[in-house]
């Protein structure tokens, strides 16, 4: 394949990707609203904030903080344990604006690993959806697979 053809294919892919994002009107969410990203006033502050929103592929999370904070994009187990043994995104100690664009669907978990911030509620999880499928049920909302379903019978 020539370089020109290859660049053409990449170009087509980029156009298709941007069309998907444009059609879904990507949203930038300020995590925690006006409060920003810090030790919250209560344990459910960030889960309350996240539960009122629908996150679509292409949307962004904007973490705004002052002082000693960080953001870690972690698996569920680290989220549940408030693990501090994870890679974090840190910023300048004074003021940081850190943006994460949600590029793929599925559950995502974010925590702060400074001191006991996570235990004090500086954590939240979201379920990122594909565009155009905002009514799709989340994995936890799907009905359980019945074990008593009749097995198909075959005539011999
Ligand atoms: Cu923190």
Q: What is the pLDDT of residue 85?
A: 87
Tokens 């075959």 -> residue: 154
Q: What is the pLDDT of residue 149?
A: 45
Ligand 1 geometric centre to CA of 37 (Å): 7
Ligand 1 geometric centre to CA of 43 (Å): 13
- Is the model's pLDDT at 146 over the cut of 50? no
Query: Residue 72: how many CB atoms within 10 A of its CB?
Result: 23
Ligand 1 geometric centre to CA of 51 (Å): 20
Q: What is the pLDDT of residue 122?
A: 98
Contact 74, 111 (CB under 8 A): yes
Task: Calculate the alpha carbon distances from 133 to 29, 57, 142 in Å.
Answer: 19, 11, 15
Ligand 1 geometric centre to CA of 111 (Å): 8
pLDDT digits (tens, 9 = 90+) for 53-93: 999 999 999 999 998 899 999 999 999 999 988 888 876 66
Angle at 86 between CA 110 and CA 34, to 5 degrees: 30
Ligand 1 geometric centre to CA of 149 (Å): 48
Ligand 1 geometric centre to CA of 22 (Å): 33
Least confidently predicted of 49-58, 87-96, 119-128, 137-146:
137-146
* 144: confidence class by pLDDT, cuts 50, 70, 90: very low
Ligand 1 geometric centre to CA of 57 (Å): 26
- Is the model's pLDDT at 133 over the cut of 50? yes
- State how far the Cα of 23 lies from the Cα of 75, in Å rounded to an integer: 30
- Complete domains list, the chain, with CATH: 24-131 (2.60.40.420)
Ligand 1 geometric centre to CA of 116 (Å): 8
Mean pLDDT of the chain: 81
pLDDT digits (tens, 9 = 90+) for 23-46: 557 999 999 999 999 999 999 999
Ligand 1 geometric centre to CA of 94 (Å): 13
Ligand 1 geometric centre to CA of 44 (Å): 15
Model confidence pTM above 0.85: no
């Amino acid at each position: 394949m020539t370089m020109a053809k290859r660049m053409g294919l990449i170009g087509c892919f980029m156009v298709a990707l941007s069309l998907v994002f444009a059609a879904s009107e990507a949203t930038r969410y300020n995590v925690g609203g006006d409060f920003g990203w810090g030790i919250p006033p209560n344990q459910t502050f960030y889960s309350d904030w996240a539960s009122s929103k629908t996150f679509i592929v292409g949307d962004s999370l904007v973490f705004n903080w002052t002082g000693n904070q960080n953001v870690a994009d972690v698996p569920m187990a680290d989220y549940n344990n408030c693990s501090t043994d994870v890679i974090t995104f840190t910023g300048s100690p004074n003021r940081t604006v850190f943006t994460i664009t949600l590029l793929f669907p599925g559950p995502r978990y974010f925590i702060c690993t400074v001191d006991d911030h996570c235990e004090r509620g500086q954590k939240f999880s979201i379920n990122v959806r594909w565009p155009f499928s905002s009514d799709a049920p989340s994995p936890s909302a799907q009905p359980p697979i019945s074990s008593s379903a009749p097995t198909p019978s075959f005539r011999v």
